[in-house]
Amino acid sequence: MVVCAENEANFSAIGAALVIGSTILRSAKSIIQGELLSSAEDRLDSATLLYYMSPYAAGMLLLSSLAMEGVAPIILLLQGSGISVNGLPAGTGSEKVAVLVLISGVNAFLLNLSTFLVTAYTSAVMLQVLGNVKSCFGIIISVLIFGNPLSRLQGAGVAVCLIGVWIYQSETARLSKGVPQVPTPTITGAKNPNAEQDMKKNVYGACV
């Protein structure tokens, strides 16, 4: 962001602060999601987490829409369904808009569900790394298919990002191989007659 802002003609300090704040909040959100999806005590599955998160996200989006756009989108939808609002003529097309909104909602549901699954099976850091890879591949595809111009500085940024992802993946694999395996305890000569049953409960709780 600093490199892009250096040559930005319409630089805004408020916008830069908002971008930094949103990045920090997004990282915190991913970390909290990772804790909820991998906690040994109160672990949630991806569908349940999405179920609890969706009402709050919908409420925030609704309030933001009303604050920034007012009721104009709602009036347009009512007019498109054949209802005259405030003396304005009724129109058509709300059915197509409703279908598009439904498709967008299904797409958002699948995207969030896949994001939670990636976080649950990997980590919050890996999710952010994959997001950077997605951005890099989006830039490459836009250049190859649509012929969008790519400066040397932009190309160098993409290369640095991909190299960083490769280094992170290599170091993660190296460290995971160096983690010593914890030997499985065996119950021999236990004085407690319920020791074996307690051990089975602990193993079952860890798996669940």
- Per-residue pLDDT reduced to its tens digit, 149-194: 888 888 888 899 899 989 988 888 888 776 555 444 444 444 455 5
Name the residue among 102, 100, 107, 78 with its Cα closest to residue 90.
78
134 assigned to some structural domain: yes
201 assigned to some structural domain: no
162 assigned to some structural domain: yes
Domain count, the chain: 1
User: pTM for this one?
Assistant: 0.60
154 assigned to some structural domain: yes
Token pair 């909104």 is at which residue?
Answer: 101
Q: CA dist 111 to 56, 129, 134, Å?
A: 17, 16, 13
d(CA 146, CA 111): 25
Identify residue 75 by its one-letter amino acid code.
I
What is the average pLDDT across 60-69?
90
CB 121 within 8 A of CB 43: no
172 assigned to some structural domain: yes
93 assigned to some structural domain: no
Percent of the chain with pLDDT over 90: 8
143 assigned to some structural domain: yes
Identify residue 28 by its one-letter amino acid code.
A
User: Which of 52-66, 69-83, 121-135: highest mean pLDDT?
Assistant: 52-66
27 assigned to some structural domain: no
Print the domain residue range for 132.
122-177
pLDDT exceeds cutoff 90 at 75: no
